[in-house]
Structure 1
Amino acid sequence: MTIVPVMDLRLLQLFWPLPPQRARYASAPTRYLSHLLGHEGAGSVLSYLKAKQWANELSAGGQFDQREWASLDISIDLTDEGVAHAREVVEVVYAYLRLLREAGPQRYVWEEMEQTAANSFRFLSKQQPMSYTSALSHRMHKYPPQHFISGAGTILLRFA
């Protein structure tokens, strides 16, 4: 691994190509991983990296979901010390992913995500009509009719 700075930005990004996730929208496996990887509380990747003074922020999410492929991405805002330990930061992320794989999906995590998503949908802010109709037409190409309004990003339907 070689790091060549081109600006004052200390961002470590990891990308994993995945098979298309559209068929799995009801159980949202990418959202599940993003939720756990992006968690900031005790025992999280970020809390560990902060304790080591290697990172300030971490975000994780599925960035693309196309017909042929999808991706899961993690962005970590490193400290100067974190840049010096970039390889170890990557190892921490992979160690956490191994831990998640060994533990398997946890129902309580999914239920927490489900409740948060339901509350977000229930208390949705009013949207601009143009933005709403654009999002709605996009969903019409991805989901069955009963999920056009809720969409996959709002309500979780099935524990995997």
Structure 2
Amino acid sequence: MDDEYLQRWTWNERQAWLALVETHAYLFGALDRDLAADTDVDLARYQVLALLADAPGWRLPISELAARCGLTPGGIRRRFDALERDGLVERRREGRDPRWFAVLTLDGKRRLDAATPAYLESVRRHFFDQLDRDELRRLAAALERVARNIRVETGVPGSTDG
């Protein structure tokens, strides 16, 4: 990153941002490796299956699923198509609603359930075990505020609204 641009930030801003970027890369890489070693679900698939399992009726509009995954329409289409080919999700219309919905299948829920213990253990080892209770509380509050503000700015619904 160009030092001229970084000089526009305070030292604390720079350290916080670079730590977040680096942590995201290492953490998600470690989670993906752990899931690949212990299950047949990678982190990208796990994310979609978990979001659908947490949604009412195990379904979300595909556009909302894309937003929650941080994907473009093309990106969610590629990820969704692979999950659909494997029978883990289905694409459906709901009544008179013109949108397409992503729906978790029973096979998808079973696959998610089988992968969840490895996922939870990996998150605990690489994330929770690195923070004390107060750090975890403060970090959660700060990240929730950032996510909420981005959702409001962009009009994207989120799982922690309200």
> Fold-level match, TM-score > 0.5?
no
Structure ranking higher on relative contact order (CA contacts 8 Å, 6+ apart)? 1
In proportion to residue count, which structure has more strand?
1
TM, length-normalised to structure 2: 0.28
